[in-house]
Structure 1
Amino acid sequence: MRGRRLGPGLALLAAVAPLAAAAQSPDPFGNRLGGGLPSPSITTPDLPPSQPEGEATLSLSALLSGIGQPLRSGLVWRIYEDRTDGVRPGIVARSTDAAPTFKLAPGAYVASVTYGFASATKKIAMSGQPATDTLRVAAGALKLSGAIGDTRIAPAQLSFSVFVPIGTNSEGRLVRSGVKAGELLRLPEGTYHVVSTYGESNAIQRADLKVENGKVTDATLNHRAATVTLKLVTSPGAEAFAGTAFSVLTPGGDTIREAIGAFPQVTLAEGDYVLIARHDGQVYTREFKVESGLDRDIEVLAKAG
């Protein structure tokens, strides 16, 4: 059978027919194309946010100098502009991560890390390429406590102040006051003067302590003191008068402590004292002695003469 040549209209119909059939088949996403149903939309895949041109990452970490132990907590990082025009450099970025990463434009910077009262800085140049660097911190720590003889003093009753000696002045520069017993105080290596106060009066001890790089100096300051309870009574062992005003003086007349109440407690360094009690317009006195570690009542007898 001789073939027939298709006319122009039949050729167009033959070309369209396969497409029409395909339009009724399911697509890979489970939708049917054609038939008046909307076609699936084409979306652009999520892309990471664009990074400003020239920026690169700077990754930092810190070590204890000497021993090379990584520091993994208690760090504060700051990145400054490295200015040469005399203007105070501004902070570009900061972080408290152990190993932070910063995005920085090309330029000169100063990286700073503080670890308690110790710190380290380093100049860093960024040229548009990722960089990694390590800062070494020369630091140790103090851990303080107090005792009377072999008896530990309750931490709540102690307070410490730490100084850097300057010349012959042991308290040349205050590093920190109000340090609690058992607290870990991070410091640059060096020698420090520590003042320990037991109670709220004159029970004070001092010591010079050395902080070594990478080590904790655990020191106990031994006090020679006691806590006395003050009372105004009509006879030994009798009930104390409420609302009595007490003054504790040295034998030379210097006031050490004042308190009001029926039986206030006062912590005092060992030694000799004069106690004055005032009640209802009357004044009563007695001398007493404080012996280290001997807590006791100090009674003043309210009697004429």
Structure 2
Amino acid sequence: MLKDKDKKEKKEEVPVVDLPVAEICAHLRDREGSVGEDLRFVRYIIENEPMAVRYFMDEFSVPILRYIANNVLCMEDDSEYGKEPYVQLVGAYYLFIGEPFELSEGSKSEKPRWYKLSLYKGEGKARLYTYVFRIALRYFCRNEDDFVNKEKNAGELLENVDYEVLLGCDLVDEEMSDEEIAALRRAHKAFDLLREKDQEVLRVMVMEKTHWSKAFDLLRKYLDPLGPKKAWQSWSFEEKQAAIDQYWTPKQKQDAISLLKIRAISHLTERYNELKRKEHEKKK
């Protein structure tokens, strides 16, 4: 039997400080607050409270992503995504930090469950920013090569994904190489394998190149209000849309549409690469 001095001391739980989300965000913005406030902030995020999620993905996370993009991955500016390189990481970061994504009852869109944030316990008096910075840095360092490959695959697809390519009747012309013809047919097949939601997002955002403000009106049916599911799961479609109009800022609407596009392209890329892999296996 172990002696008392050899036993591990039971870790003392940090008490949660119950403050309004606006006050916690103000403290974080001023680099103040406490571990207890961080724990309450995490609870707000897990509940998908609108202000908490918006602040976390914007002011809280941008400095982390900017540092990783500039100093770790040494990424270059890309006008396709924006002036700063970190913008290219936002989609991958959201999928990483927000997983798992689950389809709620009566909803047409998946909601993040923020599992990795739920693991934060404030142990050793570590602040939330330190915890998120550490796991995000580890994720992007571990997947640096995969991330670069995904960027190349997405670039290849974006060159081929166009209205004529996916919806035109005659996809092939005499000047195209065999490789280009195969890529077009593969993209068409990959598109057909997507869910209706992803197909519509790609039609609106990629093929027709619709501005986000107009795209929002066309695709908003796939969005749900943020906040605890209990608060809106019984609402009618009209009530949910009214809540989005009332509480979402233009920036939040633009971000939501951008994420729909990122996820649709990601799903298309997965199916495209799977078809390509099967083609290569048949040739062996």
- TM-score (structure 2 length as normaliser): 0.24
Q: Answer 1 or 2: higher relative contact order, Cα 8 Å, separation at least 6.
A: 2
- TM-score (structure 1 length as normaliser): 0.22
Greater strand percent: which structure? 1
